[in-house]
Structure 1
Amino acid sequence: MYNSPVLFDKSITIVNKFTPRNERRKFVVISDQAGYDQAKSFTSEIEGTVPVECLSINGMEDKEEIKRLILSQKMGTQFYIAASWNNAVMIFSLGVEAGLSEAEIQTLIIGPKRRYVYCMKCFEVSEVEEEAEFAECDHCKASLEIGPFYSIVREGYIGYPYIPIGKEEVGS
């Protein structure tokens, strides 16, 4: 069974700086207000090498315009996303939905990334701190040890329930 790529805090598409893929026939740079300066800097850097198309968005209200732009591109186009987490996830998801692979997308996250854990006790997903090794499930309040494995299906790191020292209550 094939599962489409998803954007998570350690995705291979997330970069610290855009890298021009000169073997590509065209670049498409999509940014929100947070990523506008980085997008502009990158387009200045690559000017004249390959055709470039830019789109600056405000957020969810531009979803149809983003979809139209992505679907109008030909094979060999490289996509660059410079945006805050929520907008980057939306743009990335629209790209994957349109058939883009992770190799065709570079994502520069402006601001904090989000990280999610999938609770193996209640089977719900909760947001956790970016570097947390342990967390409490927002739904069932179970103490969770966050494993190293990210589930594309569950869209979160696997959270293994445990009983922390001091919380064991023998007999009621």
Structure 2
Amino acid sequence: MKKEAVFINGKRKYIFCGDEQGLKLLSNVLKKGKEEGLTYDRYLLSDLKMTLLEDFLKSQKMGTFVYLAIPFLVLQQFRKALEDIGYLEEDVQYIGYGERKIPVFCCRCHEINMSNQEQNRLFCDRCSLELEVSDHYSAMHNAFLGYVAKL
């Protein structure tokens, strides 16, 4: 997940999705798309209704590239929905803003804990083991790996 959108050239169509703040974050890539005369749609997620977005994205053709800019707190659920529809990592750019909590997988009891992005240590909610948050992300657990903290 990125904090700033980067324009990806050579796609059949572009979709710019976000709430009001998110669309502001996408303004530079939207402007580039307009300048290039590319085919695009702008989708305002005013109340973050996922089912409406899903229906809209399901109707798109192959070659569509999606920019999604919404708060970090709901970004993961939208990411899962887009993956379920069939969008690959290469088809979407996720841009988050605001407070970010990241999932951390406990190496002892396998509990998923939520951590602030700035935290590099935390205690597991289930087994109380002190964990050091690594930069290793597990797609299988959908979380960053937490290892036993070194003293």
Which category describes the TM-score, using the shorter chain as reference length? 0.7 to 0.9
Distance 1:56 1:87, change over 3 A: farther
Q: How many angstroms does 1:73 deviate by?
A: 0.7
Considering fraction of residues, name the structure with more helix. 2
2:65 equivalent to 1:71: no
Q: How many angstroms does 1:69 deviate by?
A: 1.1
Q: How many angstroms does 1:44 deviate by?
A: 3.1
TM-score by length of 2: 0.85
Q: How many angstroms does 1:78 deviate by?
A: 0.6
| Equivalence for 2:11 | 24
For the residue of structure 2 that corresponds to 1:34, the secondary structure is helix
| Equivalence for 1:51 | 39
Partner deviation per Cα, 1:91-115 (whole Å, 9 max, x = no partner) = 2221111111111111221223322
Considering fraction of residues, name the structure with more strand. 2
| Equivalence for 1:100 | 87
TM-score by length of 1: 0.76
For the residue of structure 1 that corresponds to 2:57, the secondary structure is helix
The alignment yields a C-alpha RMSD, in angstroms, of 2.1
Distance 1:45 1:148, change over 3 A: closer
Query: Tell me, which stretches of 5 or more residues in structure 2 are unaligned?
Result: none
Q: How many angstroms does 1:143 deviate by?
A: 1.0
Q: Distance in 1 between matches of 2:8 and 2:149?
A: 46
| Equivalence for 1:135 | 122
Q: Distance in 1 between matches of 2:2 and 2:116?
A: 20
| Equivalence for 1:114 | 101
Q: Is the 8 A contact 2:103 2:143 kept in 1?
A: yes
Partner deviation per Cα, 1:24-44 (whole Å, 9 max, x = no partner) = 111011102331322345323
Q: Distance in 2 between matches of 1:129 and 1:142?
A: 17
| Equivalence for 1:161 | 148
Q: Distance in 1 between matches of 2:67 and 2:146?
A: 32
| Equivalence for 2:29 | 42
| Equivalence for 2:113 | 126
Q: What amino acid maps onto 2:76 in structure 1?
A: V
Q: Distance in 2 between matches of 1:52 and 1:76?
A: 12
Query: Tell me, which stretches of 5 or more residues in structure 1 are unaligned?
Result: 1-13, 165-172
Q: Is the 8 A contact 2:3 2:97 kept in 1?
A: no
Q: Distance in 1 between matches of 2:56 and 2:71?
A: 20
Q: Percent identity?
A: 21
